[in-house]
Structure 1
Amino acid sequence: MGYTVALDVGGTFTDVALVHEASGRLWVTKTPTTPHDVSAGFITGIDKALRLAGVEAASLRHVLHGTTTATNAILEGKGAATGLLTTAGFRYVLEIGRHDIPRRANMFAWVKPARPVSPELIFEIGGRVTVEGEELEPLDETGVRAAARRLREAGVNSIAVCFLHSYANPAHERRAHALLLDEHPDCAVSLSSEVLPVFREFERSMGTVLNAYVQPLVAGYVARLVEQLRPRGITAPLSIMKSNGGVIGADVVRTQAIHTALSGPAAGVIGVRRIGEAAGFADLISVDVGGTSADVCLVRGGEAEVTVEGRVGAWPLHVPMIDIHTIGAGGGSIARVTDDGTLTVGPESAGAQPGPVCYGAGGEEPTVTDAHLVLGRIPSHLLGGEIPLDVERARRAIEERVAQPLGLPLASAAQGILDIVNNNMVGALRLVSVERGYDPRDFVLVPFGGAGPLHGADLAALLAMRTVVVPRHPGVLSTFGLLGTEVRNDYARTSLQKPPDYDLGAVGAVYADLEGQARAWLAAEGVEPAGHRLTRLADLRYRHQGFELTVPWPEADLSVDALVARFHERHRQLYTYALADAPVEIVTLRVAAAGRVRRFTLPSLDRRGAAAAQHPRRRVHFAGVGWKACPCIDRERLGVGAVMTGPAIVEQPDTTTVVPPGHRATVDRVGNLVIHATRHARPRGPRYQ
């Protein structure tokens, strides 16, 4: 057997893991992300991992990748020029939208953001099908050809097609696709019946338009990766992480680009699930703190929450995705004092370039990383010495831009930066737990990413969570998720069923069709029939309700009564009530298809104890305690059963873990650092209410 390499591209660093498939031996590393051309950092990361392991490029059998290309294109407004063909009379669906505004926005001052497709590039096309899929009016083929010519002349190279009720009958969209390519052979075409075959015109149109908006960029990015891999002798297939926690082949991604919108964060959650499984914890809250942002997700019963009502930037995105909440809080988050004397941290980040002040690469505004360095929480270098840090630059920046304007000592100013960013992250943790009916005290916190373990114990204390699990390689955990993930795809079709006359025959026919598509896809991905795993789900709502909840509908229990009971239970959990006597409608039927084509098992730690693990002590500042002479421990030398009592600093090449006073840390069989608050531990600093 050969090797598999996994790469996750973040805003600051590209994380890399290389595993020998037969022995499970693992090599991990990082390399700076290259914002000007992300593919350059990708290739550098592979080269670095191969050198580290001393193996040839030709020995790679799989290349797995988590990417933010689609997300960044949407957030930065740098997608392709896009046109839209829609049913006559529906030209302004995108402009009208849903009449809602973002949380905390001023309803009188908020301005609706410009849509990703300009109104002059939207064309109404004659033709109509009913909600049952029957043709009422034939497609206006002349109109489609005319629209294609005008879009070609306007320089549009990506076109979305979204016709009314095409989820029930895609014939008109498929014919339009053929006509568009006949008139404009070089354009990319996205069909709503393929991207998002469910009802609700605004969400379906937006999902299809966003797919068209990012498709040329994602396709070009994937093509560049393949072009750069081949000259190095790497012929292994390239697979990309999807937002739903599975991987798909590069060829499929080129036409389903929008399904990679949360590719990187999803890989991290899958890694957390694997860590929890190995550590014996099924209920987890993950917090991935990188250089730019923090991604938070809840895992219950060993499974991550999946939603079909996500958002990317300002836009709703109703494709299946792991339910991840992202905020602008990371190691590169910039600290500023506003004109009214308020200290703010984030969401703006120093990013990879110029980076924090202590990098010495031109950054002038203090960041969270600078605060950690000034307080002694991180060493004077990163990545095992590859990136030296300038503590004097960091001190000057915090002194001049934060401490002096606020009239605070340097240490208090730096601690204030950490207190604010911690409370920002606690707000996100409460959103995925308390606001969804879960008590965070019943969960274990898993911090990861380059900065996560620096904050983990403090975040847990603020939420009264007693256990923190820091993975063995937290800085590159997303790559572990990639190594251990399955191929996965989701299939859906709206099939409205109203009580009391549920048409179970129609339901069975839809499920049979969706499962047929799923099995064919799994076979094409190389999954043996015995490894096919299909899960039936359904979206339900109370009559006259404007939204649905997704609940499982196992094939072994096709009882509508049992399905409705699960819906009531889920509604009560999320909203504290259920209408037991209200009629319940079945809206959309779904099939989640998964299968494993490779298996990665977390290797056990072969060392025991903590011999020779301790470095010289250094002074570290803790909130509410002050400066303490703190043991600095080399995590690479820690073995199974090692015990550390806080305060302590645990260092490794990809991150640093802080064990505060009042906490005790132990090492489990796979190398996780399990931190428990002792009975005397109390939250330090301001408590989030």
Structure 2
Amino acid sequence: MQDRRRFAIAVDIGGTFTDIVIADNRQNRFVVSKTSSTPENPATGFFNAVEDVLRLAEVEPEAVEIVFHGSTVATNAILEHKGARTALLTSRGFRHVLDIGRAEIPREANLYGWVKPKRPIRPRDIFEVEERVLSDGTVATPLDMTQLEPLARQIERGGYQAVAIALIHAYANQCHEVQLHEFLASRLPHIEISSSSAVLPVFREYERSMATVMNAMVQPLVGRYIRLLEDGLKDRRIEAPLFIMKSNGGIFPPKEAAHAGAHMALSGPAAGASGAAFLGRLGGIEDMITIDIGGTSADISLIRQGQPQKSTTTRINDLPLALPVIDIHTIGAGGGSIASIAENGAILVGPESAGAVPGPAAYGKGGTQPTVTDANLVLGRLPPSLLDGAVTLDTEAASAAIDEQIARPLGTSVTEAALGILAIVNETMNSALKLMTVERGLDPADFTLAAFGGAGPVHGGELMRLLNSRQLLVPRHPGILCATGLLSTDLRYDFALTRLQRAGHYDLDDIAAVFDRLSGEAAAKLSADGIGTDRHQLRRMADLRYAGQGTELTVPFSDGPITNETVASTVSSFHDLHRQLYSFSDPQGAVELVNLRLEATGRMNPISPPQLAEADTSQLPPDDSRMAVLQGLEKQQVPVWRRERLLAGHRISGPAIIDQLDTTTVLFAGQHGEIDSWGNILISEDAS
């Protein structure tokens, strides 16, 4: 007889597959599955996956205790310009705040080829209101209440589904935004409203306005989607609470997600980074570089002292999203990346992708262009079928595509062409890995590389060598780490407030008052979510810059009373970080305090993966073998192991291949892998 309400379900929806895991909290057991996603209606794919895993695990719906979900609904709405019809209300004179932007070309863009990205709201959908608050919070011009009724009628006639309110200097005094919000909410109760003082109460009107607009655009979509999930779970007799993944690496309940949908944007890769960090902490690994390689892209993040690093300078559709998110660098390199030949005869790989349809030539779905997956298959690094036989691969079609479009035009063999494709894509990924480490003053040799996603473990061994990282970690379920990562997340909220203070004139009382205010808001939010005060964890931070600089660095701010010593310690941390990132600092220079931040965490009970039994011996005979090119140009007979047979303490020396449901791991000559108690493969270079 099953104990009631002891199972946790985590569902992560991707573009091609929906990954799901059900965890038994009492018997330390995981059951995992992959089902097809349904982009036309993500909720259908969600429930297909839930029903499938309940069947596989033989679990009754009533026994589910908690449900976690990572979704691309908000991300796709922004990327595909499919958000709700939204109006922006701004202060008089700032109607073109979005079009003007920063009036600069991104540093990494082509100076002559850059095209200004399309703004999510047209100027005709932006309405000015008569009011003015100064940067110190003083009301210079009170809000003209007589203009609100005509404004409400315009919004109603315009057929808007959402309204974003972003008034100048509202971060310093939110009174006018609150008045506008309350009036419109009572007058137009069917319209979703987002205010910048709630979404992002920090200075820089362009970034603040853009974040508020994005939140307003996705709010109706996210709200409807979450209601579908909640109703559908109840219809299926699952009365468990639902938690949604955020882009900052935490989770929040549906009532918060429904009004803060922008915090779900880019949350998919965040679950993978959080999951990798959790696995690292279990194994005593605190510093990691993670690479999540899927079919279209590779997502790279950095983990320091066991925590994924965050950023407030993320961009989506080349537009700023200044909310705190896990710092992830994405490149167009994955299993579906298309290989071609440039005019000068060089092999190009990506960023164009064959996607899931038509997919690589090997998929037999009409794809004719050679891809990274085709190259790996031709070289024998992939098995003849994926997902334990559910997807059969066509080696001849893959070979023909590479031969016709790469090998023959270059006058080389199919094997050499396939190796060339992999060399190019690996160098592309290695450059991105160095961008997150070397260009930040960090030595990759001090980090463990964690490779996951469907294609991560195939390329991980070569990337470890190219990057010269300490070792390679391949998780137990690499292809569904974003789902299993959800099981280790905590409730997390970020609070911030601009308090510009000049060097030498720090107002200690004001700093203390702001942190007290943010701490009070954080405690109230976590308590409302049912988190006891003994599980509250608050972390202070501050954004600092040298006088005259236009960007800030975020550094920790000491707990306890605010004194000259704690401020000096924070400034010293800023100098150290500036030196690490830019190779210089100015300890005598004037340092300005710009924003005060608070990260509030409500600690949940993380669900650890089941531990493996200890092996009687370090050696395990291979299950099979296949012809593969792992060194030189000739295929050789390479031993193959099934991942599910490996126990803690088993050791495998390369060249070797390890197959499993969701991926394949490749070990090259001179490398060896050891299985730890959590089922991870730790791969290192043999001692020379």
Shared fold, TM over 0.5:
yes
Paired residue secondary structure (1:83)? strand
Aligned to 1:233: 237
**Pairwise mapping of residues 267-346 of structure 1 onto structure 2 (< 5 A)?**
267-346=271-350
d(CA) in 1 for partners of 2:249 and 2:474? 21
Contact 2:502 2:592 in 1 (8 A): yes
Structure 2 partner of 1:675: 683
- Alignment partner of 2:130 out of 126, 132, 147: 126
1:425 match: 429
Mean alpha-carbon deviation: is it higher for 125-134 or for 143-152?
A: 143-152
- The whole-number CA distance in structure 2 between the counterparts of 1:259 and 1:566 is 28
Deviations 1:430-461 (A, max 9, x none): 11101111011111101011110001010111
1:501 lines up with 2:505 in the alignment: yes
Q: 1:540 aligned to 2:554?
A: no
What is the CA–CA distance in structure 2 between the aligned matches of 1:335 and 1:78, rounded to whole Å? 31
Residue number among 138, 145, 150 corresponding to 1:141 in the alignment: 145
Partner of 2:584: 577
Tell me what 2:671 maps to.
663
1:469 alignment partner AA = L
Partner of 1:195: 199
Aligned equivalent of 2:18: 14
The residue aligned with 1:683 is none
Q: Please state how far the C-alpha of 1:543 moved relative to its aligned partner.
A: 1.2
Conserved 8 A contact 1:613-1:638: no
CA distance in structure 2 between the partners assigned to 1:49 and 1:476 by the alignment: 14
In structure 2, the CA distance between the partners of 1:612 and 1:581, relative to structure 1 (3 Å rule), is: closer
Q: Secondary structure at the match of 1:62?
A: strand
The residue that corresponds to 2:384 in the other structure is: 380
1:632 aligns with 2:640: yes
Equivalent residue number for residue 254 of structure 1: 258
Would you say 1:587 and 2:591 are equivalent positions?
no
Say which of 150, 173, 176 aligns to 2:177.
173
2 CA distance for matches of 1:39 and 1:334? 31
One-letter amino acid matched to 2:601: A
Count matched residues: 680
Q: 2:73 aligns with which of 66, 69, 74?
A: 69
Measured after TM superposition, the shift of residue 389 of structure 1 is 1.6
Which of 486, 489, 504 is residue 490 of structure 2 equivalent to? Answer: 486
Within-5 A mapping of 1:470-485: 470-485=474-489
Q: Tell whether the 8 Å contact from 2:202 to 2:498 is kept in structure 1 after alignment.
A: yes
Deviates more, 1:180-189 or 1:42-51: 180-189
Letter in 1 for 2:569: A
Alignment partner, residue 522 of structure 2 = 518
Match of 1:221 among 216, 221, 225: 225
Match of 1:648 in 2: 656
| Separation in 1, partners of 2:665, 2:89 | 53
Code of the aligned partner of 2:320: P
Q: Is the CA contact 2:29–2:609 (under 8 Å) kept in the aligned structure 1?
A: no
5+ long unaligned stretches in structure 2: none
The aligned residue for residue 566 of structure 1 is 573
The residue type paired with residue 568 of structure 1 is H
- Aligned partner of 1:553 in structure 2 is 557
The structural deviation recorded for 1:611 is 7.0
Deviation at 1:293, TM superposition (A): 1.1
The aligned amino acid for 2:34 is K
Q: 1:605 aligns with which of 599, 605, 612?
A: 612
Q: Distance in 2 between matches of 1:134 and 1:352?
A: 55
Change (3 A) 1:364 1:229: farther
Deviates more, 1:240-249 or 1:16-25: 16-25
Q: Give the letter for the 2:648 counterpart.
A: V
* Cα distance between partner residues in 1 of 2:618 and 2:151: 70
One-letter identity of the residue aligned with 2:86 = T
> In the alignment, is the contact (CA less than 8 A) between 2:415 and 2:633 conserved in 1?
no
> How big is each residue's C-alpha offset from its partner over 1:90-126, in whole Å with a ceiling of 9 and x where there is no partner?
1111111112223443323322112100011111111
Return the letter of the residue paired with 1:83: A
Give, in whole Å, the separation in 1 of the partners of 2:113 and 2:148.
Answer: 39
Change in CA separation of 1:623 and 1:566 when aligned onto 2, cut-off 3 Å: same
Aligned 8 A contact 1:534 1:592 in 2: yes
Structure 1 counterpart of 2:245, one-letter code: M
Shift of the 300–557 alpha-carbon distance from structure 1 to 2, 3 Å rule, reads: farther
SS at match of 1:514: helix
Moved more, 225-234 or 319-328: 225-234
1:685 is matched with none
Moved more, 65-74 or 320-329: 65-74
Distance 1:109 1:58, change over 3 A: same
Distance 1:535 1:269 in 2: 20
Cα offset, 1:340, TM superposition: 4.7
Give the AA of the match of 1:289: I
Cα drift, residue 354 of structure 1: 2.8
Query: Could you say if the C-alpha distance between residues 374 and 302 of structure 1 is closer, same or farther in structure 2, counting changes exceeding 3 Å?
Result: same
Deviates further, 352-361 or 15-24: 352-361
Q: Does 1:528 align with 2:532?
A: yes
Of the three residues 48, 51, 56, the one matched with 2:55 is 51
Q: Which amino acid aligns with 2:121?
A: V
Q: What are the ranges of 5 or more consecutive residues in structure 1 without an aligned counterpart?
A: 681-689
Q: Structure 1: how far apart are the matches of 2:348 and 2:151?
A: 49
Q: Distance in 2 between matches of 1:549 and 1:410?
A: 49
- Match of 1:664, SS? strand
Separation in structure 2 between the aligned mates of residue 557 and residue 417 of structure 1, nearest angstrom? 58
Distance 1:605 1:152 in 2: 60
1:17-60 Cα distance to aligned partner (Å, 9 max, x none): 11012232111121122222222222111111111111011211
The 1-side partners of 2:631 and 2:672 are apart by 17
Q: For the residues of structure 2 that align with 1:28 and 1:324, how far apart are their CA atoms?
A: 26
Q: 2 CA distance for matches of 1:673 and 1:375? A: 23
- TM-score for both structures, normalised by structure 2: 0.96
The Cα of 1:318 is off from its aligned counterpart by 0.9
Read off the aligned partner of 2:607 and give its amino acid letter: F
Conserved? CA contact 2:627–2:637, under 8 Å: yes
Distance in 2 of aligned mates of 1:82 and 1:13: 31
Cα distance in 2, alignment partners of residues 611 and 645 from structure 1: 10
Q: In 1, Cα distance between the equivalents of 2:109 and 2:325?
A: 25
Please give the alpha-carbon distance, in whole angstroms, between the structure 1 residues aligned to 2:577 and 2:213. Answer: 32
1:24 alignment partner, one of 28, 32, 36? 28
What CA distance in whole angstroms lies between the structure 1 residues aligned with 2:480 and 2:404? 34
Give the Å deviation of 1:343.
2.4
Secondary structure of 2:180's counterpart equals helix
Q: Percent identity?
A: 48
TM normalised by structure 1 equals 0.96
Q: 1:342 deviation in Å?
A: 3.5
Could you say if the C-alpha distance between residues 280 and 182 of structure 1 is closer, same or farther in structure 2, counting changes exceeding 3 Å?
Answer: closer
Match for 2:92: what amino acid? A
In the alignment, structure 1 residue 621 sits paired with structure 2 residue 632: no
Which 10-residue stretch deviates more, 41-50 or 343-352?
A: 343-352
